[in-house]
A and B are shown apart, each in its own frame.
Chain A
């Protein structure tokens, strides 16, 4: 076979991608259906919340029309699905704006917070596991295991409240909440504004990051120790590589593979945690939006946020699968 192997790893076959995408679409479809069932299984008409408060008559009328409450259930379902396909998630009952607009305002904040938290939790979590792998079954290893399990067992909202008390309320080093300083002058330079945003991001991101790091460290340690027991590490040592090189160049790439897989499981946990952390820090993201909407019985927002969250989870699972296929040559189709 004289063909030259491509320099880049082969991209997964388009058939595989299509299959996974189709699977993702099916999952989203199921989420939509389940949500519909949930909404209509609940007691009272979907407009009960409306009737409890004074809503402008034109909004009420539009909602009545949109929901088509006099129509049979399958028709309602069909109409709802069509509305979803048009990205029409209804109107927020408390803000009197389209839900899509409300979510669009909040989503970037959640993405920023989640992104920062993911970097922190994986960085810290993998770092802890690596140190444990370098000095296995020593006192340091056991101490770090304690740290991981404690972080894993700490309520994320309490951690946030404590960090808030220590670093914001008490000392004033960090802002007490929000994503930016509303009093900042509108002509303030972009550097100042960026710094301000970062300043507000630190505590909430650290909170989410620390809480998640416990989970990642535990999982990564198990994966790493599984890999460390394998023969090929002995082969690497026999070549004369230092223990550090063996760990980083041979053990870690293999140990990261199962961790990429849990990315799909981490995202739902992350979003759940974001609901609490955003509430603690008054961070204007989707999580806080949902929590507020619950208290105001603004259920179109809750439904909309849940659907968006589900889509994100499905997407992240897909990305995780793609990453594993790219990283692990054993998963690729044979030549």
Chain B
């Protein structure tokens, strides 16, 4: 039995099917990247899995998970409550020690330093880590990360992705990474699923999808990746 099984997920919004026929599985410590252009339906799938879609959306299909599903959002500046101290926000539903541990898991070396700060006093990278910590605090089995690095500069990007990989190795955390950037997917995931027009068109090991894309959508995304000389093997 897979840790997370999604069968035939569909989301309809005002009668318009935004997402349809989405099936995927996720194993313990596995990393799956859901890649697609903007508007393909990636965030909708993520919200549906986390149970955060508004009541107006009609969801069909089956989702089974052996554990909690946590979700970390992309922080474009308004992801944290501006008038509440950061520590209180992370510890809102868990104990303080657990919250501090979650901050450390997210890569905040000294939780005490940020605990009494307000969001506007932190840098973008720190805020993204706090968002991550909030999702990790609930000790989820599966973490859905929606564009966790898009708003960050390259060095931070790498750091966050490394952290996520470390969590997979050390805690067996399953990662569902939402991104529009295949390069990030390659870096952080074992498998890649290509999403186009609301449904998965290709799904396989990362290396395979990148080397030999079978569908037009996948090929387009691969072609759009910036070609930089590889640093080494």
Contacts and interface: CB of A to CB of B under 8 A. Distances in A.
B92 A239 contact: yes
Nearest to A327: B83
Contacts of A238: 50, 52, 70-71, 73, 134-135
A232 B82 contact: yes
B116 interface: yes
Interface of B: 50, 52, 70-71, 73, 75-76, 78-84, 92-93, 113, 116, 118, 120-121, 131, 134-135, 137-138
Contact of A253 (B83, B113, B131, B134): B83
Grouping DSSP codes into helix (H, G, I), strand (E, B) and loop, the B interface class, with mixed when no group exceeds half, is loop
Contact of B93 (A239, A253, A327, A329): A239
A250 interface: yes
Interface residues of A, number: 23
Interface of A: 1, 5, 230-232, 234-241, 250, 253-254, 257, 327-330, 334-335
B92 A231 contact: no
A254 B73 contact: no
B83 A235 contact: no
Query: Which of A232, A237, A254 has the most chain B CB atoms inside 10 A of its CB?
Result: A232
Contacts of B135: 238
Nearest to A1: B113
A240 B52 contact: no
A232 B80 contact: yes
B113 A235 contact: no
Given A238-B135, A240-B93, A335-B121, A231 B81 contact: no
A335 B118 CA distance: 11
Contacts of B78: 230-232
The interface residues of chain A, by DSSP majority, are classed as: helix
Nearest to A236: B81
B134 A329 contact: no
A9 to B, nearest CB: 10
A239 to B, nearest CB: 5
Interface centre among B83, B116, B118 (most CB of A within 10 A): B83
B83 A254 contact: yes
B134 A235 contact: yes
A329 B82 contact: yes
Contacts of A241: 92-93
A109 B50 CA distance: 56
B73 A235 contact: yes
A257 B82 CA distance: 11
A238 B45 CA distance: 15
Contacts of A5: 116
Contacts of B113: 1
Q: Can you list the 6 inter-chain pairs with the closest CB atoms, starting with the nearest?
A: A329-B118, A231-B78, A5-B116, A232-B81, A231-B79, A230-B78
